[in-house]
Structure 1
Amino acid sequence: MLTALTFPAIDPVLIEIGPFAIRWYALAYIVGILFGWWYAKRLVSEPRLWGASGAPIRPVDLDDFVMWATVGIIVGGRLGYVLFYNLDAFLAAPLTIFEVWHGGMSFHGGFLGTVVAMVLFARRRAIPFLSLIDVIAPSVTVGLCLGRLANFINGELWGRPSDMPWAMVFPNADGQPRHPSQLYEAALEGVVLFVVLRLLTHRQLRLKQPGYVAAVFAIGYGLARIVSEFFREPDIQIGYFSGGLTMGMLLSLPMVLAGIGLLVYVRRRDAKRA
């Protein structure tokens, strides 16, 4: 067998008191949502980021939206996993759909669920939808990073076989050294994307152009996920599609195209205004 790093055996359960257990996976969602709430409020509370007209969103609006976002993430993420990744298994045992503590969440489903929540909330509060999604987009990147780190701790969603010196043998896999693709995704989807969006909001002041930050987020996440999929082992129940494509790639491509379309719209809109 090729030389490989030892997988750090971290207990997926952080704290266990009697029948109650707090898992790293659940904690990643909780901290990610709380950080996103705090960071979004910081964005709308800095007048220089928005120009003379100020932010069209109030911090109190985000206090109310956090519950909408939480429902969108959980419901959308679970339904996305059920529909995109393991429909046959859930049809055979429908009640397991509600056992979210065992894992099984789809980012793309959670993304769509959050978008639906933003559309409904923006209409109810008469908030510009594009500005709302501009604020939420950079706020979710830390949660994405923490979620992938939790996947790593759980020893799930491992990478393809590799002979790189940092390859690891995951305890639930087949004994082959594999890419720690969860860490690649944490870096690209979380750290790198956060830095890029931070530069857009605080250096280039792109929040003044509604839709710009959201467009870059969609493009950036989609590309980061597609790149990561080249190192990630596809779900065993799905495998590869024609041409070596994976489900993650197929679901990310529409995000890239939608982001490009939104970016073109923003540029044309601003050019007309100018």
Structure 2
Amino acid sequence: MLASIAYPHIDPVAFAIGPFAVRWYGLAYVAGFVLAALVLRELDRRWKVGLSTDDMLDIVLVAVVGLIAGARLGYVLFYGVGSYWSDPLSIFAFWDGGMSFHGGLVGILLAGAFIARRKDIPPLRLFDMGAVGAPIGLFFGRIGNFINGELWGRPTDVAWGMVFPRAPGDLPRHPSQLYEALLEGLVLFVVLWVLSRRKREDGFILGMMIGLYGVFRIFIEFFREPDVQLGFIAGGFTMGQVLSLPMVAAGAWLVIRALRHGRDAQDARDSGADGAGSGADVTE
């Protein structure tokens, strides 16, 4: 066997009270939403959006529903390949894993558009606020995947390869869940947090978030084992990479759009200032 480090066997169940079991994967989602809500509150204060406590609670609750529903349905549609038809009720067993980020993104954007309309907030502004906190949830979610021993990487001979108990072949593999937690979680959050230090044109932060996520995901998929149901679906590319390509394009479009709007707004302000100055000279 190739050299590897021991996979830390962690019970997926954090604790149980009678028949009720609380899993680390579920706690990861709770931690992600709580910390993302704190980020939302800080950005509301800094950007002077004017959200009340009730507004914040409504936004978070709607986001929870949109994300979980979208992530689970996305997994079923993109990766299930009809396997859930034999046991339809298992679609609702999201605590066992099987959540799609791409489906969750669609779900939370639809939920965000709904609540933004109800609260009379520009949708892109709300999306920007949520985008800063999103990598926190991604970080905890990938840690949950690692604890569950799922979404493992491809076989490798690197010194930090791990033998995942549920993976076939008893081979050391890339701990790709940790790669994703690092890039899609910590690195992405730091970049967006720095960018959010000053308010930018609506849509800029969202564009950076989905664009960078797409780039990171495409890169990490080269180390992650393709989903067993699908394998490689387009040459040497996986479903995760195919779904991430439109994200990179959409992110680039949003960033360019925001920069263009910012430049146009600055030109308008400069023109107004020049016009005011010219008028003053004529009056004198």
Q: Normalised by the size of structure 2, how large is the TM-score?
A: 0.90
Distance 2:31 2:254 in 1: 30
Paired residues, number: 265
Distance 1:164 1:118 in 2: 42
**Which sits farther off after the overlay, 97-106 or 17-26?**
97-106
Q: How does 1:66-85 map to 2 (within 5 A)?
A: 66-85=60-79
Amino acid corresponding to residue 131 of structure 2 in structure 1: A
Q: Which runs of 5+ in 1 are unaligned?
A: none
Which residue identity is paired with 2:95? W
1:211 aligns to what?
Answer: 203
Cα deviations by residue, 1:90-126 (Å, 9 ceiling, x for unpaired): 1222121112222211111111100000111111111
Q: Find the counterpart in structure 2 of residue 28 from structure 1.
A: 28
Q: Tell me what 1:242 maps to.
A: 234
Q: 1:214 to 1:59 in 2, by over 3 A?
A: farther
Structure 1 residue 40 displacement after superposition: 0.5
Q: Within 1, Cα distance between the matches of 2:176 and 2:45?
A: 36
Local SS of the residue matching 2:152: coil
Are 1:44 and 1:59, in contact at CA under 8 Å, matched by a contact in 2? no
Please tell me the residue identity of whatever aligns with 1:245: F
Work out the CA distance in 2 between the residues paired with 1:240 and 1:251.
13
Contact 1:45 1:59 in 2 (8 A): no
Instruction: Assess if the C-alpha contact under 8 Å between 1:2 and 1:177 holds in 2.
Output: yes
RMSD across aligned positions (CA): 1.2
Match in the other structure for 1:137? 131
Runs of 4+ in 1 over 3 A off after TM superposition: 56-60
Amino acid of the residue matched to residue 20 of structure 1? Answer: F
Equivalent residue runs for 1:164-243 within 5 Å: 164-174=158-168, 175-202=170-197, 205=198, 207-243=199-235
Aligned-residue offset at 1:242: 2.5
State the Cα distance separating 1:63 from its structure 2 match.
Answer: 1.9
For structure 2, the residue ranges without an aligned partner over 5 or more in a row are 267-284
Determine helix, strand or coil for the equivalent of 1:244. coil
Q: Distance in 2 between matches of 1:56 and 1:129?
A: 14
Q: Could you say which residue in structure 1 is the equivalent of 2:12?
A: 12
Q: What is residue 112 of structure 1 aligned with on the other side?
A: 106
User: What is the match of residue 160 of structure 1?
Assistant: 154
Task: Single out whichever of 60-69 and 143-152 deviates more from structure 2.
Answer: 60-69
1:90 partnered with 2:78? no
Q: After superposition, what is the alpha-carbon deviation per residue over 1:226-265, rounded to whole angstroms, capped at 9, x for unaligned?
A: 1110100011010002321001001111111101111111
Q: Deviations over 1:119-165 (max 9, x none)?
A: 11111111011110110001111111011011111111000000000
Counterpart Cα distance in 2 of 1:58 and 1:220: 31
Structure with greater Cα Rg:
2
Q: 2 CA distance for matches of 1:96 and 1:173? A: 22
SS of the residue aligned with 2:8?
coil
What SS does the aligned partner of 1:156 have? coil
Whether the 8 Å CA contact 1:56–1:128 is kept in 2: the answer is no
For the residue of structure 1 that corresponds to 2:226, the secondary structure is coil
Is residue 2:96 matched to residue 1:102? yes
Q: CA deviation at 1:56?
A: 5.5
Partner secondary structure for residue 14 of structure 2: strand
1:3-52 deviations in whole A, cap 9, x for unaligned?
11111011111101221111000000011111111110111112xxx3xx
> Percent of counterpart pairs with the same letter?
50
